[in-house]
């Protein structure tokens, strides 16, 4: 819990923030006053209500979902994300045991660690994640060349394309799509080869810098 001052009643968060969730304000008056969806501005922090619901249709007014926001909502089997959603925080839907797939809007450009498709264990004192395991056969639906595709690629989830986004860059070697070829691209490629991050379709095309049909450390070296 980041804040535990009981008399805290009003909270202001940056637009599209995903750094906090409802748990961070557990011991406050603000928390006690929440009913249903708990939010601050356009940031959806969690849910305080009926934990037996199976379909969660999140209101379009929200553009970000905070960390741990809906963890352990075991009854939920379907989530409809807001059409204008931009960011999803770490482990936002962890331990949602009946949730087997998610469709991610094209507007999303940030997905936190383990946001979907993971079951986690948290420290009882600090609340921080001590272990997390991937949900087998979890399916990510989204747009080709989107952050959804990158998230699926990074975590080894099945990805089902529902459309195509125009690539931000088709410059050979431009992994971070900033229209330039720099050391950052070599670093990003090294992280991909090490299994630390994922790449979408266009990123993978850009990544084959030496045009040998493979994406590996030789491409990163060539970019350097």
Over its C-alpha atoms, the chain yields an Rg (Å, rounded) of 19
Rounded Cα distance, 4 and 63, in Å: 26
Q: What is the pLDDT of residues 170-188, one digit of tens each?
A: 999 999 888 999 999 999 9
DSSP 152-186: HHHHT-EEEEEEEPPPS---TT-TT-SSS--HHHH
Element (H, E) at 40: strand 36-40
Identify the DSSP state of 178. Answer: S
Burial of 34 (0-12, 13-18, 19+ CB in 10 A): middle
Q: What is the pLDDT of residues 207-224, one digit of tens each?
A: 999 999 999 999 999 999
Burial of 194 (0-12, 13-18, 19+ CB in 10 A): exposed
Q: What is the pLDDT of residues 126-139, one digit of tens each?
A: 778 889 899 999 99
């Amino acid at each position: 819990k980041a804040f535990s001052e009981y008399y805290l009643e009003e909270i202001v968060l940056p637009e599209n923030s995903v750094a906090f969730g409802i748990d961070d304000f557990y011991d406050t008056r603000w928390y006690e006053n929440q009913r249903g969806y708990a939010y601050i501005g356009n940031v959806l922090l969690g849910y305080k209500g009926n934990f037996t619901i199976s379909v969660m249709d999140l209101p379009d007014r929200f553009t970000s979902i905070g960390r741990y926001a809906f963890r352990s909502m075991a009854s939920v089997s379907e989530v409809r994300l807001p059409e204008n959603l931009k960011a999803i925080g770490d482990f936002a839907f962890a331990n949602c045991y009946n949730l087997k797939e998610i469709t991610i809007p094209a507007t999303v450009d940030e997905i936190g660690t383990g946001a979907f498709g993971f079951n986690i264990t948290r420290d009882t004192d600090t609340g921080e994640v001590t272990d997390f395991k991937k949900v087998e056969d979890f399916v990510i639906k989204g747009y080709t060349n989107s952050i959804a595709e990158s998230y699926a690629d990074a975590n080894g989830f099945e990805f089902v394309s529902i459309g195509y986004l125009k690539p931000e860059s088709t410059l050979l070697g431009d992994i971070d799509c900033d229209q330039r070829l720099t050391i950052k691209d070599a670093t990003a490629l090294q992280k991909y080869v090490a299994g630390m991050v994922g790449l979408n379709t266009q990123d993978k095309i850009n990544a084959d810098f030496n045009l040998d049909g493979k994406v590996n450390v030789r491409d990163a070296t060539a970019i350097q």
